[in-house]
Amino acid sequence: MAPDRDPLILVLNAGSSTLKHASYQGLHCMSQGTIECGEADYPSTIGKLLNDASWNAVAFRIVHGGNDLTAPVIVTDSVIETLERTIPLAPLHQPPALSAIRTVGSLLPSTPRIACFDTAFHATLPEVEQRFAIPDRYIQTGIRRYGFHGLSYESIASQLHGISERAARGKTIVCHLGNGASLCGLDRCISRYTTMGLTPIDGLIMGTRCGRIDVGVAIHWMREGMNAQQIEKILTKESGLAALSNGTSDMRALVERADEDPRCALAIEMFCRSIAKEVAAAATAIGGLDCLVFTAGIGENSDVVRRRVVARLQWLGGAIDEQANQRGETRLNTLSSSFEVLRIATDEQQIIAGHAIGLLKRSEAASL
């Protein structure tokens, strides 16, 4: 790495139909964007991004690290083999990410590739929260609660000390409410509880995912002749807010239409209830509630959702300052609220860039 400038990092987040990219110089974001493209287009699309600068590293957001990858790593052949074994745990997310990693490896073979995992932040979950009540022989095959959105929770945890010592040193529940939604119970900024499980289907109602549901529903459909792909499609792409409103999963549209369309009103009500109920469960699991944080697209932008969630937690002593809420300030609770309520913007890409820089420095120090 040239000693006279901060390293240049390209951050890639490969999804099933989009490739999100961001370029960083040190921790400063220079540009970012989203390209609609599938894996077949990666050689040309990623090729163009790689030509934009002389990158010190390319860093990837990877949804699942499985049991073995619990911290950011420099990608080697053995990391790729380990990641291949995680494909059955996240069949929709892992293949495009692996394909992007391979494409960069073939186009820029001597540039370090760095992988950061959404599951890694939850490696600290205690066994009582990781374990499902199923026989040991299945636990041994990796069936357990992993949790996701870890890079977002890490971003929030890294900002808490600068915002509230009570939140940073105490019990904080972070609600990541985007198209995917989950929450995380932090004790002193360490993950001790989360709502997503083996897959990102579990927990909160989401844009198009059902969230917590009786697994008997899936068994019933299998008896009726549906296969795994059909059930997965219903529960991940056709459910959630989109199913309840019979149309849209966009919270802005739901709020606009709620007065005249009872299905949109129901979708918002069920979404906010599912969040408040899980906050209570998380508070029980971590043994208290000092601070509730709202983040991601809906959490950062929807005063309606924040107000309704905190209203349902009034019995716990929560109270929101409605003016601060509507203005979208950082601190939203009233002085009399028993717990703090904060609105904090998440920045997963910056966390990934930071890990890449840290790993580059460590590998350079090791090779000196």
118 is catalytic: yes
Residue 318 in the binding site for ligand ADP (CB under 6 A): no
Could you tell me the end-to-end alpha-carbon distance of the chain, in angstroms, rounded to an integer?
13
Q: How far is the CB of 137 from ligand ADP (least distance, A)?
A: 35
Nearest of 167, 194, 203 to residue 288 by alpha carbon:
167
Determine, following the binding rule CB under 6 A, whether residue 330 of this chain makes contact with ligand ADP.
no
Member of 297, 312, 333, 353 binding ligand ADP (CB under 6 A): 297
For residues 314 and 296, give the distance between their C-alpha atoms in angstroms, rounded to a whole number.
Answer: 23
Between 41 and 250, CB nearer to ligand ADP = 250
Closest to ligand ADP by CB, 207 or 318? 207
- Which helix (H) or strand (E) segment holds residue 234: the answer is helix 228-237
- Does position 251 interact with ligand ADP (CB under 6 A)? The reply is yes
User: Does 200 participate in binding ligand ADP (rule CB under 6 A)?
Assistant: no
Query: In this structure, are residues 201 and 195 in contact, taking their beta carbons and an 8 Å threshold?
Result: no
- Catalytic residue, from 6, 68, 77, 118: name it: 118
In the block, residue with structure tokens 């209203």 = 311
The label of the residue with tokens 């391979």 reads 102
- 207 belongs to the binding site for ligand ADP (CB under 6 A): yes
Residue 163: name the closest of 32, 295, 72 by CA: 295
DSSP assignment of 20-75 equals EEEEEETTEEEEEEEEE--GGGHHHHHHHHHHTS--SEEEEEES--TTT--S-EE-
Among 83, 210, 268, 298, binds ligand ADP (CB under 6 A): 298
Query: Residue 114 is which amino acid?
Result: I
Which of 179/334 has CB closer to ligand ADP? Answer: 179
Which residues in 175-194 contact ligand ADP (CB under 6 A)?
A: 178-180
Query: From CA 64, how far away is CA 313, in angstroms rounded?
Result: 32
- For the CB of residue 38, give the shortest distance to ligand ADP in the complex, in Å: 17
Dihedral, CA of residue 33, residue 39, residue 40 and residue 44, to nearest 10: 40
Q: At what angle do helices 94-107 and 42-51 cross, to 10 degrees?
A: 50
- How far apart are CB 150 and ligand ADP at their closest, in Å? 14
| Closest CB to ligand ADP: residue number | 297
Give yes or no for residue 252 binding ligand ADP (CB under 6 A): yes
> SS3 sequence, 166-186?
HHHHCEEEEEEECCCEEEEEE
> Does 296 interact with ligand ADP (rule: CB under 6 A)?
yes
> Shortest Cβ distance from residue 169 to ligand ADP (Å)?
27
- We find the least distance from the C-beta atom of residue 358 to ligand ADP, in angstroms, to be 24
> Is residue 147 part of the contact set for ligand ADP (CB under 6 A)?
no
Q: Using the rule CB under 6 A, is 18 a contact of ligand ADP?
A: no
Rank residues 56 and 350 by Cβ distance to ligand ADP and give the closer one: 350
Assess 250 for contact with ligand ADP (CB under 6 A): yes
**Minimum distance from CB of 315 to ligand ADP (Å)?**
26
- CB count within 10 Å of CB 24 equals 27
Catalytic residue set: 118
Chain contacts with ligand ADP (rule: CB under 6 A): 178-180, 207, 249-252, 296-298, 301-302
